[in-house]
Structure 1
Amino acid sequence: MTRGKALLAGLAIFALGGLGYWGFQAAGFEVFSAGIAAQGVLVAVVLVWTGSYLFRVVTGNMTYMEQRRRYRSAYEAATDDELQERFDALSPEEQEKLLRELGQLEETSTSEDPAPPTP
């Protein structure tokens, strides 16, 4: 939730309290009872809202986390594709040399005699 949406949600809850008060008065509650009833509804709304936030925190479904996951997967896909294209553009010798440098290919010895073991 962005800062603007959080402010709007706060204002909406504030307005909900006022509307609830007037609604309970219109339904026939006395002034004192209408205030208590509106406050009770408002407290219940805030508790449910806070509970949903805590649930999202525990499950990892926060807005920032979701944006980061989407960005990370898109970034990895783009870089993987670009690196694969650049690798495919290399000649087979250059590919082999690069793979050797990265340790992806084992070095083959040119001599037939294996090196003597070191003591």
Structure 2
Amino acid sequence: MTRARALWLCLAVFVLGGLGYWGFKAAGLGGIDAGIAAEAVLVLLVVGWTGSYLFRVVTGRMTFMEQRRRYRTAYDALTTEQLRERFESLSPEEQQALLKEVGQ
């Protein structure tokens, strides 16, 4: 997440808290009760968001981990194919010598 996006997120939470306060106040709650209700809703949202993040961390389903997994799979497939092509381009004697060298 970039700094700008983090600042926008903080601003959105701040605005959401203000809207919640005014919404609860318009629904008939007093000033202190509306503030407590709005704060409780924001705390539940932040705890839920943090919980979902921790769940993604524990299960390994974070964006970076997924990108790395896809990159590694594609890299392994490409490398395997290149090695296979290079091996098949060798003469049978060179293939046998290489197989003996690696212990096959």
TM-score by length of 2: 0.84
Query: Structure 2 CA distance, aligned partners of 1:92 and 1:72?
Result: 31
- Tell me which amino acid in the other structure corresponds to 1:79: T
Q: Deviations over 1:57-111 (max 9, x none)?
A: 221222222222111111111111111111111121211111111111xxxxxxx
- Tell me which amino acid in the other structure corresponds to 2:95: Q
TM-fit CA distance, 1:6: 4.0
Taking only aligned residues, the RMSD between alpha carbons, in angstroms, comes to 1.7
Q: Percent identity?
A: 65
TM-fit CA distance, 1:52: 1.0
- Tell me which amino acid in the other structure corresponds to 1:26: A
Query: Structure 1 CA distance, aligned partners of 2:7 and 2:89?
Result: 53
For the pair 1:19 / 2:19, whether they are aligned, the reply is: yes
Q: How many residues in Structure 1 have an aligned counterpart in Structure 2? A: 103
SS at match of 1:101: helix
SS at match of 1:45: helix
TM-fit CA distance, 1:15: 2.0
TM-score by length of 1: 0.75
Aligned positions of 1:58-69 closer than 5 A = 58-69=58-69
Query: Structure 2 CA distance, aligned partners of 1:10 and 1:80?
Result: 46
- Corresponding position of 1:3: 2
Query: Structure 2 CA distance, aligned partners of 1:27 and 1:87?
Result: 75
- Corresponding position of 1:113: none
- Corresponding position of 2:49: 49
TM-fit CA distance, 1:29: 2.0
Q: Which runs of 5+ in 1 are unaligned?
A: 105-119
Query: Structure 1 CA distance, aligned partners of 2:32 and 2:102?
Result: 77
